[in-house]
Amino acid sequence: MILFDHDDDKPREECGVFGIYGNPEASLYAALGLHALQHRGQEACGITTYDGKRFPSERHMGLVGEHFGGDLRTRLPGYAAIGHNRYSTQGRPMLRNIQPIFADLSFGGFAVAHNGNLTNARELRHQLVRDGAIFQSTMDTEVILHLVARSPKPRFMDRLVDALQQIEGGYALVGLTGKKLIGARDPIGLRPLVIGKLGTAYVLASETCALDIIGAQFVREVENGEMVVITDEGIESIRAFPPRASSPCIFEYVYFARPDSIVQGRSIYEVRRRMGHQLAAETPADADVIVPVPDSGVPAALGFSEASGIPFGMGIIRNHYVGRTFIQPTQIGRQAAISKKHSPNRAVLEGKRVILVDDSIVRGNTSKKIVQMVREAGAKEVHLRSASPPIVNPDFYGIDMAAKSELFAAIHTHEEMVAELKVDSLGFLSVPGLYKAIGEPVRNNMQPQFADHCFTGDYPTPLVDHQHDESDKERQLSLLDDT
């Protein structure tokens, strides 16, 4: 019997952020909110509060439930708090790279946490270091802190706007001062951020599931390019950027968001079920049973079953009492837990023609193990279906995805993938099919409704640091040629 770790071959989440202002149990609500957002990052977590005088803070490696409980209100008192779940996409996994980060600036204390990735962080960091800045971490979040500290603007909010206008990339940011809770979203809304209300308190969170867990009412999404400022007087909206069309990350629908979250007014669960409907229409196969690759493949597999009329069966059983090992920082750590995660349900698979439905295929390594496992459990045929298009380009906005040279669909033809995976057939959802499932039947090539660059190569913002890397490679190759 083969047991394996499926999550090792998934796009790795960016991070999750949470903020609350106006409740004396702010730290408790922040911990609950982060617990609901645990799927967005399991490497580390942190909470910073404000109690009227100080900014108590705790940051830990590991899961929220391991560290934030019991006497939390005593340890982290205050009526306002921000929190962060981390999976490192910029900066190595270490204590000094855990958010929120805090600094005493000329106008007072400022704590900040963000979800996403700045595509010009390295260039800005080099400039700041040349100008005398001293960095305590390797996170791109600290770049924002230094830009705020060094801004010549007289007012804090003007300094923050000045800082955000210098950065490129995708981010959802929460910040805390002695008087304000701040939320900000990048100009095209790549990373998500929503506003909630809990009694008289305001809440900010990456997803609506974090509002649900604390009983907060959903108010609205923070719009792309918008900054919201929450004080004792209420909430104010600031437009920090010229108007641009929204282009949120399409992977929120494919994989990242929790199925019970609502994104842009759409149920994630229903969208994924419609992806399965569309996948069945585009890539049919004769089979006896539809089997999801748990857990993220379940809604699409249900949709495939509904549309095709082929029965649904749980042919792979997941052990939910094991952490998601892809979040571990080393390959050795991930492989050490491979034998703990999934096992085949022979009663569903034996003697059957099986259609396996997964949400995506990244490196292909785990897909090979899945297919092998299902065949060894007695499946007569194995047909693999991906409820997203082929991933052929890496992400630079906060998804820790493989380099292009490691992306399975980028380095193999369709026929090569079938042979490598040892499947009877292989099918992917098309890009138009994905848009249709989301509710946008036409992809506008002039301005895509979503950031779908992993499928199309159409990156929505300048990739400053990456372009510099490519230029350096070309320069080195040129030097080699000259010699």
Q: Is 469 annotated as a binding residue?
A: no
Cite the beta strand spans of 5-79 per DSSP E. 15-21, 44-50, 57-61
Residues in CB range of 269: below 8 A, 6 or more apart: 259, 260, 299
The residue behind tokens 């980060």 is 101
454 noted as active-site residue = no
User: What DSSP element (H or E) covers 67?
Assistant: helix 64-67
| Per-position b or e across 284-321, b if 16+ CB within 10 A of its CB | bbebbbbbbbbebbbbbbbbbbbbbebebbebbebeee
Helix 464-482 vs helix 121-130: crossing angle, to nearest 10: 80
What is the largest distance, in Å, between two alpha-carbon atoms of the chain? 73
- Give the number of other CB atoms < 10 A from CB of residue 406: 14
Cβ-in-10-Å burial (0-12, 13-18, 19+) of 74 comes to exposed
Q: Is 296 annotated as a binding residue?
A: yes
The residue behind tokens 């940051």 is 59
Among the listed residues 15, 45, 209, 249, the single catalytic one is 15
**C-alpha closest to that of 366 among 296, 311, 293, 268:** 293
Question: What residue numbers does the annotated binding site cover?
Answer: 296, 358-359
Question: What residue numbers does the annotated binding site for Mg(2+) cover?
Answer: 296, 358-359
Active-site positions read 15
